[in-house]
Structures are given as C-alpha cells and as structure tokens.
Amino acid sequence: MPELPEVETIARGLATDLAEASISGVRLLESGSLSTGTGALGHDEFLAELPGARILRVRRRAKVLFMDLATAKRPLLHLAFHLRMTGRLTVEPAQTEPRPHTRIVFDLADGRHLFFADVRKFGSCRAMPLEGLPHWAFWATLGPEPLEINAEQFAGLFKGRRGGIKALLLNQKFIAGIGNIYADESLFRAGIRPDAAADRVSRARLMRLHQELVEVLNEAIAANGSSISDYVNARGDAGAFQNDFRVYGRAGQPCRNCQTLLAKRTVAGRTTVFCHKCQR
C-alpha cells in the first residue's frame, strides 16, 4: 500500500499537472470504485456535479490523496482517493483510451484525462461535501501528521500508551501516514526494536525516533517514494527509495551498520525486519 511519501509524491505531481484545470466530464467505468458511504455523494450526484468543476488544490492527508474542487453547486467539494494496494492516478494526453483496470476517467477541459486505475479494486474514490467530512469515520479519527508535529509533541503521544512501538506507528488513529516500510526503516535508524514496549522507551529515544522518522520520510519523498511492485507517480514513473532500504525486505542479509544478519519476524501482524545488535 502506498504510504505517506508515495501519496505525497503523487499529490505534488498532480498539483503541478492539474494547476488551473477543469473537469469537463466523468466516466464511471467501475461503479464499485466510487464509495458512497455516509456523507459522500451518490453515483448520480457524482456524475451530475463533477462536469464543470474547477480543481482548486491537490493535497495529501495520511495515505489519502485529496482534490479540492469548486462546482456549480458548491464552493468546495473534496475528492478523496484511497489508493490501497494497486490504485494509480495518472494524467494522460488527449485521445488516450482507457486501459484495462481503468475504473474512473476524469476528462479535462483542455483535452487531457485523469485516469484512476486499480488492478485489484481495493482502492476507492469518494466525493465529500464540506459538511460531510465530519461524518466520515476514517477522517474523523486520523492522528496527527508526523511531518507537522515536533519531537516534543511526538514523544508526548506515547505518554501512558501500552503496547508495541511499531503497532502504534502503524495505527492511523495514533499517527497518520506511516506503514510497514517507514516504520521499519525509522525504527532501525533510531536503534529501537520494533517489538519494544512503547511505555519503556525513554523520552529521549522517542524524540530521536521522530528525528529519524522525519528524515526517512523526507528522503523517500525526494526519491519519489518506494516502488516495490505497483506504485508509480502521477507521470507513471517508479520511485527509487527502495534502493536505499536499510532493513525493509532485507531479511537474512548483512546489516549495513554491523554486518549482523538481519532478522525477520511478525510484529503487529506485519512482516518485520530488524537488527538484533543495532536495535535494542
């Protein structure tokens, strides 16, 4: 699943490519790809309201990509794309036909198209009026952004919290946007075992973890994210940060710091790689 750096990379690319763009039409090729849960527009409203909408802003919150629109009916409508395992958003030239697995096509006024494709159909698009956002349980319970809080605030999140530290990092209600890759990489850099009890990690080490987490997230963003299998950015290019992984996906290989063979076990329900010597 794309994590914070991948979704941020896509958002930045789309923000450039879709600046001042307008939507002339929408083709819903797979009805199940439009989520119509509490507070969201239904299929008919979606198809009726999107044509003529202006794209005001493209941004990210947690692992979700948002497009803020102004429509004839309302000054602000949010399109929320949850890419999950295989979702992709790419801007395509005029006359480009939908490819296999293209689920929604947004035709742009200048002739280009925005394709939402999803091989495994786990991803979704949701159109949320401003008044509907508070009723979206996922949105209402998201934790803070790791790049928007300081080390003191980050360390304070753990006060009185039991359980494993990696489990908390993966909990989107605790802190938003972190997944398996960047949890493993930041814990390694901070020298903290992924199965460590959170309430036994000192405040100083938690502040160090925040420093390493911010660093690894920013490095990944600069490298256009990590491409393990399906991820590409808004222009169809793969990321490169996977070339710099220190632990993720490297079980049984030598630690880049001490040459100890990296261990693998299941932590917080996820395959986890770490170094017995460097992480304590």
Q: Which residues are catalytic?
A: 2-3, 63, 270
Residue 81: closest CA among 98, 110, 55, 104 = 104
Sheet holding 113-118, edge to edge: 23-28, 102-108, 113-118, 87-92
How far apart (Å, rounded) are the C-alpha atoms in residues 1 and 120? 12
DSSP letters for 7-72: HHHHHHHHHHHTTT-BEEEEEES-GGGB---TTS--HHHHHHHSTT-EEEEEEEETTEEEEEEE-S
* CA 26 – CA 122 distance, rounded (Å): 20
Q: How far apart are CA 278 and CA 275, in angstroms?
A: 5
Distances (CA, A) of 262 to 144, 164, 209, 268: 31, 20, 20, 18
